[in-house]
Amino acid sequence: MSLLGVDNTNLLSNEKQTILHQQQEINDFEHEKLRTNWIAPLNLNATYEYDKSAMGDYHSDLKSASASVSQDIFRSGGITYQIQYADAKMQTNAVALQMQIASLNQQLFTALLTYQKSLLQLEQSKLRLDNQEIEIFIKRHLYDVGKVDITELNNALMAKSSERKIYATAKYTIAQQRFEITKISDIDPGKFAVPRFELILQDDFLENQFDLRYSRAQSETLHNLYSVTRSNYLPSLALNGNIGYKSYNPKELAGSYSGNAYSAGISLTMPLVYNASATIQEAKASYLQEVAGNADKRRELEATYRQSIEKIESYQEYITITANNFALYDDLIQAAQAGVNVGTKTGYDLQTLKNSKRVEELEIKINEINIQIELAKLHFSLKTSKDIL
């Protein structure tokens, strides 16, 4: 059964899908080859010989056709191990392909989320620039009437210059993320509704994370390869058979013959190889190394998961702190509005406060996207996109 369900790859470009499907084909054919390569080939042979004797004017020809096979029927368990190795290797390849699909989908969704975040940052920067324009206007007026010195006006101008750089950076990031999306997919980031990612529980993460699944599958593969290697140096029993037809014509002499011919037998082989022990131990060491690596990988992933959770919690804390400021902004905006109504405040103060509150509202949305980016990383560490679309 194909692992490339439409929901796993349908957001990727046609070229990416073709590459992945071809890799699936390669894996399938490799599995078939490994699972059956213990089956001996049937050898077909046909010959024609024409002979001129040096002892006289005698001629003869020989025609033959045959089919032969030498098939192992016992390899000290090697045939079973070979089939198990093929199945384990296919499972390893399947996990590797799933990892590749998940990695592409993670790149895509990270770019989509970063694109959305950059749009919000661009809006934030525009609001800050509006506030700085107001501040520069006020400081310039105060400077002209001698109520502030040049330093305050210069600081306002420098702050605007810095913010313009931030604005330019946000515009470039938006273009860059569009480019990243284009490399992977044909979707329009401005129209695509990104699904929400939910938190992956630690037990699920450590049980199904792709690196761990690959390591476990690779351990099983190397264990079966070790068994195959060991069986190569143990006794094996083969069935030999040959069937064919021969025709001999001595021309000028008697003794011609023609007819069917066949032979059958068994052979017992016990290889005695000088470096057999070293070869077997090498295969065993590779298997044990992978098993040890699996335990080490789990330890690393526990730390990775904790790090992601702490980062998510920090973003949530930023959101809480920012949200707590809204009540203060509402009070200030209400007071400024009242002042504008009675003529004691200018509209500049009111607009500055409204812009600042909107900046903080966008900051919450930005941190919510930061959380989604972290959740997407966890999601695609053990899943493809299938169950979120």
Q: Which pLDDT belongs to residue 92?
A: 94
Q: Which pLDDT belongs to residue 63?
A: 85
Q: Which pLDDT belongs to residue 387?
A: 58
Q: Residue 223: is its pLDDT beyond 50?
A: yes
Q: Which pLDDT belongs to residue 39?
A: 84
The predicted-structure confidence for 64-113, as pLDDT tens digits, reads as follows 888 888 888 888 888 888 999 999 999 999 999 999 999 999 999 999 99
pLDDT top residue among 339 and 58: 339
Domains plus CATH for the chain? 6-38+91-111+173-235+276-388 (1.20.1600.10)
Average pLDDT over residues 223-251: 86
Q: Residue 1: is its pLDDT beyond 50?
A: no
Q: Residue 4: is its pLDDT beyond 70?
A: no
Alpha-carbon distance of 131 to 115, in angstroms, equals 25
Average pLDDT over residues 281-300: 89
Measured in whole angstroms, the distance separating CA 216 from the mean position of its chain's CA atoms is 17
Asked which of 189-198, 201-210, 247-256, 273-282 is least confident by mean pLDDT, the reply is: 247-256
**Torsion angles phi and psi, residue 197, rounded to 5:** -95, 140
pLDDT top residue among 1 and 389: 389
Average pLDDT over residues 324-353: 87
pLDDT top residue among 233 and 209: 209
Of 201, 232, 240, 200, the closest CA to residue 69 belongs to: 240
Q: Which pLDDT belongs to residue 6?
A: 43
The mean of the pLDDT values for the chain is 88
Measured in whole angstroms, the distance separating CA 19 from the mean position of its chain's CA atoms is 13
3-state secondary structure the chain: CCCCCHHHHCCCCHHHHHHHHHHHHHHHHHHHHHHHCCCCCCEEEEEEEEEECCCCCCEEEEEEEEEEEEEEEECCCHHHHHHHHHHHHHHHHHHHHHHHHHHHHHHHHHHHHHHHHHHHHHHHHHHHHHHHHHHHHHHHHHHHCCCCCHHHHHHHHHHHHHHHHHHHHHHHHHHHHHHHHHHHCCCCCCCCCCCCCCCCCHHHHHHHCHHHHHHHHHHHHHHHHHHHHHHCCCCEEEEEEEEEEEEEECCCCCCCEEEEEEEEEEEEECCCCCCHHHHHHHHHHHHHHHHHHHHHHHHHHHHHHHHHHHHHHHHHHHHHHHHHCHHHHHHHHHHHHHHHHHCCCCHHHHHHHHHHHHHHHHHHHHHHHHHHHHHHHHHCCCCCCHHHC
The predicted-structure confidence for 341-381, as pLDDT tens digits, reads as follows 888 777 888 899 999 999 999 999 999 999 999 999 999 99
Contact 135, 156 (CB under 8 A): yes
Q: Which pLDDT belongs to residue 2?
A: 47
The predicted-structure confidence for 154-212, as pLDDT tens digits, reads as follows 988 999 999 999 999 999 999 999 999 999 999 999 999 999 999 999 999 999 999 99
Average pLDDT over residues 38-48: 84
